[in-house]
Structure 1
Amino acid sequence: MIIINYFISLNENEESILQKMLLDKQFWPNSNSPKSINQLAAWAVDDYIDYYKSFTEKK
């Protein structure tokens, strides 16, 4: 498996919101919050990859 690293640029406000979001147990179903911003980003990318696969299959 090849691992590719990406960098995400955030401003201070976005970073602050993400930190609060990670700690907000009420926001996440079953209090299953990501353990880090990296995990959150990976979940988001996985979701969009699944969405795109589904989109392309319907074409």
Structure 2
Amino acid sequence: MSSSICVQLYNEIVKLLPEWHDYYPEKGAIKGTMTGSAADSPLLTSLIYGSRRGTWAEC
């Protein structure tokens, strides 16, 4: 599954169940993990966690 499809699926699930999402991944009920790069689109960077928001997970 591509990264963009994963993010789109995450966003659709959160539309149906907004209480599952939280800005801080350790608080939310739904998780999305992926590696990223500076070349990623803003759609993808919404689920990539780094030093700005605290390192969470990479796979």
Which structure has the greater CA radius of gyration?
1
Higher relative contact order (CA 8 A, sep 6+): 2
Q: TM-score, normalised by structure 1?
A: 0.28
Could you say which structure has the higher helix fraction? 1
